[in-house]
């Protein structure tokens, strides 16, 4: 089981949107926050060019990412665990599912989230942006998560909150059950390829159980179709 962290297990998406807004603005690039939010879940190495173009990435990309990190660090103390997140991790551990936390967050951020979730004894492994050359929607983080526990794509299921999670997992051959806590609509998540969509991890309930008990190949075919 591969679990996204930001926006799925911990409530961070809107803090990140504001941090990116401030970072761009401080470098003279003013973007509407709603557009920035549409890209949250995409790794910072991908986000600047996606939002502002190749020229801004070339000239200001590193400076914007540095400013975003500092702006977000000022807000990270506000981050709380999503309702049902700890319970989900405990339930998956109790059922002896292998659990990997796959995040595009910086290494120091994911370590904080692991502690916030009390996940050191519940998760088998976790990844961060520091483990890969390119983050979501590239498939690198999903591959890294699988490699950490020696799993194959056909054995895995992803839980995430953004179209970028879904796209990264699909490129790696892993189906995704999506939650809406990142601020994306059900239709958007399904259009990206999610095989099921729930309001939050607290509402996964029987949906996750049904998907886990099914032949996951049928969900891959449905997502690709």
Assign domain 2-11+80-224 to a CATH class.
alpha beta
Same fold, 2-11+80-224 and 13-77: no
DSSP letter string, 8-33? TTB--HHHHHHHHHHHHHHTT----H
Cβ atoms of 180 and 197 closer than 8 Å: yes
Give the three-class secondary structure for 6.
strand
- What the block records as the tokens of 180 is 């809406």
Nearest alpha carbon to residue 31 among 60, 58, 52, 61 = 52
List of residues 6+ apart from 224 with CB closer than 8 A: 170, 193
Q: Residue 18 phi/psi, 5° resolution? A: -70, -40
Predicted local distance difference test score (pLDDT) of residue 223: 46
Which CATH class, in words, describes the domain spanning 13-77? mainly alpha
R_g of the chain computed on alpha carbons: 17
- Name every residue whose Cβ is closer than 8 Å to that of residue 7 and which is 6 or more positions away in sequence: 13, 40, 41, 160, 161, 162, 181, 182, 183
Domain positions in the chain: 2-11+80-224, 13-77
Question: For the whole model, what pTM was predicted?
Answer: 0.90
pLDDT lower than 70: segments of the chain = 215-225
């Amino acid at each position: 089981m591969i679990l996204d962290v930001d926006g799925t297990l911990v409530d961070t998406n809107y803090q990140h949107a504001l941090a990116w807004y401030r970072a761009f603005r401080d470098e003279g690039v003013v973007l509407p926050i709603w557009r920035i939010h549409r890209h949250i879940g995409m790794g910072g190495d991908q986000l600047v060019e996606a939002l502002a173009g190749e020229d801004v990435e070339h000239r200001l990309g590193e400076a914007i990412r540095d400013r975003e990190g500092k702006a977000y660090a000022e807000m990270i103390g506000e981050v709380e665990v999503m309702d049902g997140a700890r319970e989900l991790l405990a339930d998956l551990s109790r059922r002896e599912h292998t659990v990997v936390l796959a995040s595009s967050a910086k290494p120091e951020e994911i370590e904080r989230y692991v502690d916030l979730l009390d996940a050191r004894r519940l998760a088998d492994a976790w990844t961060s942006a520091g483990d890969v050359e390119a983050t979501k929607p590239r498939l690198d983080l999903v591959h890294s998560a699988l490699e950490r526990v020696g799993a194959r794509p056909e054995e895995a299921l992803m839980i995430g909150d953004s179209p970028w999670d879904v796209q990264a997992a699909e490129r790696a051959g892993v189906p995704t059950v999506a939650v809406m806590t990142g601020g994306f609509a059900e239709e958007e998540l399904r259009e990206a390829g999610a095989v099921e969509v729930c309001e939050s991890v607290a509402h996964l309930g029987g949906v996750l159980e049904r998907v886990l008990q099914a032949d996951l190949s049928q969900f891959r075919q449905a997502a690709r179709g």
